[in-house]
Structure 1
């Protein structure tokens, strides 16, 4: 039995641990083997000899890095499945390759560069294409040179390859076929006039736009069997072109969409897997997790992620190969936040609550956060924000968010004039308290710009507490709120302004690993989540016994 079909059979029979998408890729291969014999309108067949030809070529290549550097490449079964599928499936009449695109998603340190470098050299000299143009692409020239550089080292370390190929600083030439292999980046002087035979996109998750993808595909029209080869780890921006491609590929695997010319291999852990269970790590790490050294490396990375939650984002994307909607140093994953949204509206009539205030004058939002302690350590949260009417249009343009729609939908109140009149804030609180019968335990405020407001609230009979804005006061409540979200003990009503603020929030850390929230751009706003955290400083103590602050008055924490 050929290596590709053997791997597919073992995965489908559960003899190998593999994730959902790899299972589906293997089922697709076996299903298509049946189709080639039974369906007249299926124009493809699997040519074992074409697959074996690629495997044989890789034996001329040598590893370029690590303890195997200089030794011949012996392809792993999963690598043979990928390469054998791409090059073994052909049109039964023309003999041309079936797959014109390939999307491969693997975790870090699973020999992505080895696969790409070998494929680049194979299609440069051994695939029978005259005048082949091979491009290793990236957004920056130094990144584009990584794959190209590995290919050049492979040539120089192989007596057989170096006899035929001429490897220079910026181009590898095959004089016999008049073919070239070059690094290509967005900052290359001109991207016009390309005629790619193979376009390699490495770490596509790092591309902010689809520009390089589009350049390669648009130039392939004159080739009979071109190949766009995307290989990447998962990323943290679900608005990126790579995530769009990822979603498209998963739909192909689920047979929601039909595309017989697109090969997909996504090695990631499944949704229900425990990320701490090392037995499942091989799903995302089909090569790395085979060795004791690889498991030890993953254990160490996982422990760091547990010890420093800010590192978890990288562990999930780079080591577990899961897409996470969370920026670098991001405070919360939006998918985890979404999981906390209430299924049905919760009746909060007569409930006790803590109120958090984050005041502004012109630039930022003014926000109120309401935190309602429930049983079993759970909390319901609500948020409302205010923005001066006169600055609404300007801020919609500068911040690039739909403030006008949020005003229409009553998530934000537009106040008269060019600054927020704090009397609106007091009236809003009083109206909500009266309407819903809420029992306000404490009003917790950021002291900036709030002295007069606090005095007015105290005069109305509220217990008012100043929340100092520093690591000592905010670190533990900020961490605790995040842990409550991860354990689904925070319940919210899908307030889009609050969700936007959470997406903007990053963590700033001191040398003792205490954290505070910050924003990574001046136009980003985090006031709604900051207001909630001011309230949570006090609300979290409800699970630890009664407050030590009894009675009325202006207090400082």
Structure 2
């Protein structure tokens, strides 16, 4: 067998890159950009002013380290780990570039996004053990999952690798949920938010954030990142699949790192290595030749392709499985939850300028929740077949800090932006809500056509508004009453006939909304199952339940309809 040298490895990497750019190996646009970035970085090394140098021997070290371990499952179980060309390309970037000023690694951060079952845990385990064992320095490696189960998955992969590596026998102990190297007291430890173990703030040298798409906030990432300040050559590695919640920190990281790769974007970060493998927007998921774009390893062997075929077949037969197939197997971000109400890409496309309301027919909607929670007023203005929508919400000032901690959203910022009003004390003062409605009407010079309300918590306010001349219409919060307006509002969004002002509170509520579906396929927004508050969206739906009839002059008297012989539960 030919001896592997640093030169041979770099030739492998270079040949792989050329195959990506020539199309011999099919790859997504961002994968191609990553290769172009590598070529550009290597060419820049010839300039004496370049702040970096390249050490091919360091890449060989990582490659040889990987060969000390064996595959522990799958068709290669028992065989030495031989890095694939794709893995070697990542290693050539992460472990090859160094800073001239201090010999530290160039890349301090790594973002890798690819589909599941592409040896993600195996590669993370190699990174973790490489950080600790072939060195005389003391290192601390933390694996951060949102849940203990998630962080344990990578940790168990590390343990399995170590247990199948004869060269490490007797050199470490694994007890109390951590690996400890005898000679240096270096550790590898899983962390999780729920266990409240966040690295003790003690100088991690390698932080691994696994499946970042599942992290509801960036708190674990932030703790690890801030703890690395004193390290000369720290590394923060995010390796994840795509997700379906665009409000979580991973999607923001995905958008940012995509700009780092894009040669036409004015975003540069020499400290950040990025590799994203995904289907391109216009790719046909049924075209098997596209699958390698998201599956640079799985799609290279027959058993992997067969597993993808099987997953696609299930997704096509059971639509509820399609979201999982697209995110986990095709690495596409999908902006809809299970039973999620709205495709957020459609909603975002409806963002626009709101004209003066005085020229519209305006309907108001109330969603007055418990006085200690968020309370919302929604409005829908109708003009020339277009529905202009917005909201304003109220939060008791005495509960605001508590709600920001539990809801993980910036109510204080939204207050400063004018989308929320704080009311004094620990409960929402409905007199302030009433005053805001009156002032809103006066400011925008319109007379509301109708004000729709849920009588739960709102009956007294409805009576007060009615005494001031408002036409009040009760909207029972039952699925057979709300299904039509809930479905029709969504369809109007998809048809581009709704305009909203990019209100972050309403965007948040729409994204949170989960549907309740009955056997007759009636739907309504489900507050009980929605992970966070949907009150602003519910208020808008209440208003739309009346506004939807304006254009066709089918102004149905709901109160009379509910009392008629034609209505039944």
User: Same fold by TM (over 0.5)?
Assistant: yes
Alpha-carbon displacement from aligned partner over 1:9-44 (angstroms, at most 9, x marks no partner): 22233333333432221111111222223x111244
2:157 equivalent to 1:157: no
2:252 equivalent to 1:230: no
Which residue is 2:538 aligned to? 530
After TM superposition, give the deviation of residue 346 of structure 1 in Å.
4.6
After TM superposition, give the deviation of residue 114 of structure 1 in Å.
1.1
Equivalent position SS for 2:95:
helix
Q: Decide whether the 8 Å contact of 1:17 with 1:282 is kept in 2.
A: yes
Alpha-carbon displacement from aligned partner over 1:403-435 (angstroms, at most 9, x marks no partner): 8976995987999x94349987997898799x5
Cα distance, 1:405–1:498 mapped onto 2, change above 3 Å:
closer
Equivalent position SS for 2:27:
coil
Alpha-carbon displacement from aligned partner over 1:301-336 (angstroms, at most 9, x marks no partner): 75488447xx74x56654454556777765446554
- Tell me how far apart the structure 1 counterparts of residues 201 and 360 of structure 2 sit (CA, whole Å): 68
Which residue is 1:299 aligned to? 312
Q: Residue 369 of structure 1: which of 363, 379, 388 is its match?
A: 379
After TM superposition, give the deviation of residue 79 of structure 1 in Å.
1.5
2:42 equivalent to 1:29: no
* Structure 2 length-normalised TM: 0.73
Cα distance, 1:404–1:117 mapped onto 2, change above 3 Å:
closer
Cα distance, 1:250–1:459 mapped onto 2, change above 3 Å:
closer
Query: For residues 498-517 of structure 1, what are the structure 2 equivalents within 5 Å?
Result: 498-509=506-517, 515-517=523-525
Q: Decide whether the 8 Å contact of 1:155 with 1:167 is kept in 2.
A: no
Q: Decide whether the 8 Å contact of 1:210 with 1:241 is kept in 2.
A: no
Which residue is 2:189 aligned to? 183
Q: Which moved more, 1:145-154 or 1:288-297?
A: 288-297
2:560 equivalent to 1:554: yes
Cα distance, 1:474–1:292 mapped onto 2, change above 3 Å:
farther
Query: For residues 120-269 of structure 1, what are the structure 2 equivalents within 5 Å?
Result: 120-125=128-133, 127-138=134-145, 141-158=148-165, 160-161=166-167, 163=169, 165-166=171-172, 168-169=174-175, 170-172=177-179, 178=184, 180-185=186-191, 187=195, 191-192=199-200, 194=202, 196-207=204-215, 208-211=217-220, 214-215=223-224, 218=227, 221=230, 225-235=233-243, 242=250, 245-246=253-254, 248-254=256-262, 256-269=266-279
Q: Which moved more, 1:361-370 or 1:423-432?
A: 423-432
- Tell me how far apart the structure 1 counterparts of residues 539 and 523 of structure 2 sit (CA, whole Å): 16
Q: How many correspondences in the alignment?
A: 535
Which residue is 1:419 aligned to? 430
Query: For residues 264-413 of structure 1, what are the structure 2 equivalents within 5 Å?
Result: 264-270=274-280, 280-290=290-300, 291-300=304-313, 302-303=315-316, 306-307=319-320, 312=323, 317-322=327-332, 331-332=341-342, 336-342=346-352, 344-346=353-355, 356-358=365-367, 362=371, 365=375, 367-370=377-380, 372=382, 379-385=386-392, 393-394=397-398, 396=400, 399-400=403-404
Equivalent position SS for 1:18:
coil
- Tell me how far apart the structure 1 counterparts of residues 536 and 112 of structure 2 sit (CA, whole Å): 39
Alpha-carbon displacement from aligned partner over 1:214-270 (angstroms, at most 9, x marks no partner): 4466357465x4433332234566665555654554454347454434322122444
Unaligned runs of 5+ in 2: 1-9, 405-409
Which residue is 2:5 aligned to? none
- Tell me how far apart the structure 2 counterparts of residues 123 and 423 of structure 1 sit (CA, whole Å): 61
Cα distance, 1:380–1:32 mapped onto 2, change above 3 Å:
same
Q: Decide whether the 8 Å contact of 2:396 with 2:422 is kept in 1.
A: no
- Tell me how far apart the structure 1 counterparts of residues 20 and 343 of structure 2 sit (CA, whole Å): 32
Cα distance, 1:82–1:283 mapped onto 2, change above 3 Å:
same
- Tell me how far apart the structure 2 counterparts of residues 461 and 552 of structure 1 sit (CA, whole Å): 16
Cα distance, 1:181–1:500 mapped onto 2, change above 3 Å:
closer
Equivalent position SS for 2:525:
strand
Cα distance, 1:247–1:162 mapped onto 2, change above 3 Å:
same
Which residue is 1:40 aligned to? 48
- Tell me how far apart the structure 1 counterparts of residues 287 and 538 of structure 2 sit (CA, whole Å): 35
Equivalent position SS for 1:22:
helix
Cα distance, 1:60–1:487 mapped onto 2, change above 3 Å:
farther
2:498 equivalent to 1:474: no
